Amino acid sequence: MFIHSCLKLSALAAVFLLVTACDDAKKEASPQQVAPPVNVGFVTLQPTTINLVAEMPGRTVAFRKADVRPQVDGIITKRSFTEGAYVEAGQQLYLIDKDKYQAELDAALAGLARERANLDLATKNRIRYEALRKTRTASEQSYDDAVAAEAQSKAAIASAQATIDKARIELNYTTVTAPLSGQIGASTDSEGALVTASQSAALATITQLDPIYVDVTQAGGKLLQIKDAIASGRVKGLDEANIDVRLVLDATGQEYPILGKLQFSDVTVNETTGSVRLRAVFPNPDKILLPGMFVRGYVDQGRIDGGFLVPQRSVMRRPDGGAYIYVISGDDKVVSKDIIIEQSKGKDWVVIAGIEAGDRVIVDGLQRIAPGMIVTPKALDENAASMKSPKG
């Protein structure tokens, strides 16, 4: 009986081991589970014409500026403008006591009359001695003296006329006028103040605000890069006489509503900063721009035909600095492509080589993919910030 029970238990154990072995064999024979494709977001790129715009810091500079200074000595008897007002070129600003200069002009006029009288007498003497010389009644020496006296009288008249002109100029200088049109600042002197022609302090300053200059600076290396790109043909140059400049005010971050025109760029590099100055001129009818304001200028420096704008977040770098992107092939596999970047433009890179029209560049999901992987692509509509299937 005991032996029979043992044989029964042994049979059951054998059956259990056989079933377990079959289950293990089935597991080994079943295929391994494959992870589902990764969802990635992409944008489809097409070539386009890209204007290369450089952002440069700068400051506003008065279009014209003039210090008003006296050109004669005297007491100010009248001030004829309101501080801070707009004045026209030639408008009277100050009046300096003119009595002294009027007297000097009168004296010069009298001197001229005297010299003309002397010339009249000298001319008559020269004519008289000329007649006597012909009859040999007067000597040659007497005639020569008469001719010389007449010449001296003519020279004296010229000198007297110059004295009159000088006196008249100084008399006119007693009326101090605006040398240009613009906004006039505070007056440093008032009625009763003594001013001199040699003083260093200005009576007032006039500033022309419309139009106004904007001086921006660009690193010399950047300027050389764009010139090299134009020379090599990668970038098309622009007509320097018709380059637009856009302006943003640093104080408010607002864009100035009127475009300016690039006027010139310096031919020298600043030894201290290594930068080059570019000057633009802007209309300023509402006097929004004032001299000395900090601004940011955006200057067109060239054009690329057939370039690509690639989102910066889709571009990766190798240790050697080389740039590459991941694109989706026709069978939805990840492919790595090396690209050549010209420069940045907003949130994009300007790419001039390495991309073909219609490439689907992966933007989202980069951290979960590698070349050769199969992915589930979703077209990324950045404007609507939503995802949609490219087949939908």
92: domain CATH number is 2.40.50.100
Instruction: Give me the mean pLDDT over the 233-251 stretch.
Output: 80
Do 248 and 351 belong to one domain?
Answer: no
Share of the chain above pLDDT 90, in %: 56
122-152 tens-digit pLDDT? 999 888 888 888 877 778 888 888 899 999 9
Is it the case that residue 112 has pLDDT exceeding 70? Answer: yes
Same-domain status, 310 and 300: no
Instruction: Determine how many CB atoms are found less than 10 A away from the CB of residue 120.
Output: 12
User: Domain for residue 347, yes or no?
Assistant: yes
Residue, of 13 and 207, whose pLDDT is higher: 207
Q: DSSP string of 29-97?
A: HSPPPPPPPEEEEEEE---EEEEEEEEEEEEEEEEEEEEE--SS-EEEEEE-S-TT-EE-TT-EEEEE-
**How far is it, in rounded angstroms, from Cα 247 to Cα 254?**
9
* Cβ proximity of 203 and 195 under 8 Å: yes
What pLDDT sits at residue 20?
Answer: 52
Q: Which of 1-5, 27-31, 186-190, 240-244 has the highest mean pLDDT?
A: 186-190
Number of domains in the chain: 4
For residue 3, pLDDT beyond 80: no
Please state, in angstroms and rounded to a whole number, the distance separating the CA atoms of residues 192 and 270. 47
Last residue of a domain, one of 304, 336, 369: 304
More confident call, 141 vs 155: 155
Structure-model confidence comparison of residues 240 and 41, the more confident one: 41
In eight-state DSSP terms, residue 313 is: G
3 within some domain: no
Would you say residue 103 lies in a domain? yes
In this structure, are 223 and 277 located in the same domain?
yes
Residue 185 domain boundaries: 70-97+175-201
pLDDT over 60 (residue 383): no
**How many Å apart are CA 361 and CA 328, to the nearest integer?**
7
Q: Which residue has the higher pLDDT, 53 or 90?
A: 90
53 versus 371: which is more confidently predicted?
Answer: 371
The residue among 185, 201, 217 that closes a domain is 201
Same domain as 102, residue 90: no
Question: Are residues 279 and 360 located together in one domain of the fold?
Answer: no
- Residue 50: per-residue pLDDT: 86
**47-61, 240-254, 372-386: least confident range:** 372-386
Measured CA to CA, the distance from residue 392 to residue 388 in angstroms comes to 7
State whether 181 and 271 are in the same domain. no
Given pLDDT bands bounded at 50, 70 and 90, which one contains residue 15?
A: very low
Within a domain: residue 77?
yes
